[in-house]
Structure 1
Amino acid sequence: MTALVYAPLEAPLWPLMNKFYRAHQSSMKAVKDAQLWVARQEDIIAGLCLRPLAHGHWLTGLFVAPALRGKGVAGELVRHAVSSCEGPVWLFCDPELQGFYEKLGFCLDVELPHALHERLVRYQRNKAMIAMGVTTPSYPAPDQETVPR
């Protein structure tokens, strides 16, 4: 089996991220002002967006192809992407995902930029949502770009 590669998606290839999301009926969208990160074998099997915000980044759009869930792909993709950032990284998630993100170093006791706090309050009107964050200078960088699978 081909090794998994975790890397930023170059700007000319950004339409592939939205194609990946659509192929799996995900409502997520890649945004132009973000760093797009993917896990690939030959095709994209997972992706996420890191949007610059305030003095850090907002992690959105984490999605793994359903057939490959539970194999550590999401965690490795988050580790690679977050280790490339300077400053804090924030995310919103369903409370059921708290343990997953805590294993990656994220915590609940997070100070959000004003714009993110307002967005969280709006989101919480319609569904359960928590904010988590990690400070990247203490975040361990992955040892390598490719991981054999």
Structure 2
Amino acid sequence: MRSVGNARWWVAKDGEIIAGASFLPLSGGHWLTGLHVAIEHRNKGYGQGLFNAAQAALGGPVWLFCAPELHDYYRRAGFEEAVTLPSELAQRLERYRASKDLLALVRAEAATA
């Protein structure tokens, strides 16, 4: 994953970093710009844990763009289709959709496991 200057990183460790998520601050919330969980640690709740911890600390909604095949994963983590987006994300999504099929999702508040 790439990081931009003002992104906020959250990581899960088990002796070493096994998962990481990058959140870019926006007016009124954050944009999840990347999530990676090491292959051998997937399906163990680390992504959900990162979402919960980060959103509880950062506050506000979290938006993301994802490929349609990831919709069910993010839905289980408490995300739903975004009806509206902050203007900076709406413009970005429009540009991205020129070359890829993407969904815009939002998690209004930390979901409970």
TM > 0.5:
yes
2:56 aligns to what? 83
Mapped partners of 1:68, 1:103: distance in 2: 17
Q: Is the 8 A contact 2:77 2:111 kept in 1?
A: no
Correspondence for 1:132: 105
Number of equivalenced pairs: 113
Structure 1 unaligned spans of 5+ = 1-27, 143-149
Amino acid at match of 1:38: V
Quote the residue 1:34 is aligned against. 7
Q: Quick check: 2:78–2:111 contact (8 Å CA) kept in 1?
A: no
Q: Offset of 1:85 from its aligned partner?
A: 2.4
* Displacement after TM superposition at 1:82 (Å): 1.8
Q: Which residue of 2 aligns with 1:55?
A: 28
For the residues of structure 2 that align with 1:141 and 1:86, how far apart are their CA atoms? 15
Tell me, what secondary structure is at the counterpart of 2:72?
helix
Percent identity over the alignment is 43
Compute the displacement of 1:141 (Å): 6.3
Moved more, 114-123 or 66-75: 66-75
Per the alignment, residue 88 of structure 2 pairs with 115
Work out whether 1:43 is the aligned partner of 2:22: no
Identify which range, 55-64 or 72-81, moves more after superposition: 72-81
Q: Which amino acid aligns with 1:41?
A: D
What do you get for the CA RMSD once the two structures are aligned?
1.7
Q: Deviations over 1:44-96 (max 9, x none)?
A: 11101111112111011101112222222222222221222222110111111
CA distance in 1: counterparts of 2:48 and 2:99, whole angstroms: 27
Q: Which residue of 1 aligns with 2:37?
A: 64
What TM-score does the superposition give when structure 2 sets the normalisation length? 0.89
Query: Which runs of at least 4 in structure 1 moved beyond 3 Å after TM superposition?
Result: none
- TM-score of the superposition, structure 1-length normalised? 0.69
